[in-house]
Chain A
């Protein structure tokens, strides 16, 4: 069965960086794009980044451009998300999520069919 297992909770000082991992199993890792989505306390999900595990190409939300890097290791079926220059507003649960595609009347659309368990990142001095 598909499983996405993330690394543990982190506590960071403002200005520091954090790197979160997500290990995939139960399917062909290179077949599906993977994303990072974060959720601040009491807020809705917010998409951050996506990677094509096959070639490693990435795309980032405008809000995080220059501050986030997403990478992958195909030998271990793991994706990583590094967020730099942390501030208190970055305190959130960070999820990895597998992207699935669907072809309907409007053409292709994309959604997230499997999610990791989440990693709480707390930014506080």
Chain B
């Protein structure tokens, strides 16, 4: 059971905007730890999508953006495309677990 909670699924039509929330507590996101996001296509390893709350690694389209406020973070996908259909996970640290790396419960994005 993860300390970071995400909605199990979100969906949208091509071209639409969807957002994924990552809700934590004062021992992780609320403690000031950065949030990072990963995309996982079926049968493959997670791929880094956003780091340090809102930074994109080179090669990641600017359709993906991240933000953070209080004890929650969000990933937004604008101009949704068929290839965005995947699982998405947030990641941070948790002070109550000695600073261990923690992942979110995951969100399945479906392109209608």
Contact = CB atoms under 8 A, between A and B. Distances in A.
Interface of A: 35, 37, 43-47, 50, 61-62, 95, 100, 102, 104, 106, 109-113, 115-118
B46 A109 contact: no
A-B complex: 5 closest residue pairs judged by Cβ atoms: A109-B34, A115-B45, A111-B36, A47-B101, A44-B106
B89 A102 contact: no
Given A44-B106, A95-B45, A111-B48, A106 B100 contact: no
Contacts of B45: 95, 115-118
A100 B101 CA distance: 13
Contacts of B98: 62
Contacts of A113: 48, 51, 57
B17 interface: no
Given A37-B101, A113-B51, 10 more contacts: A45-B38, A47-B102, A47-B103, A61-B100, A106-B32, A106-B33, A109-B36, A109-B51, A111-B36, A113-B57
Contacts of A104: 34, 52-53
B46 A102 contact: no
Contacts of A100: 51
A115 B39 CA distance: 12
B2 A44 contact: yes
A110 B101 contact: yes
A91 B89 CA distance: 20
A36 B19 CA distance: 29
B55 A45 contact: no
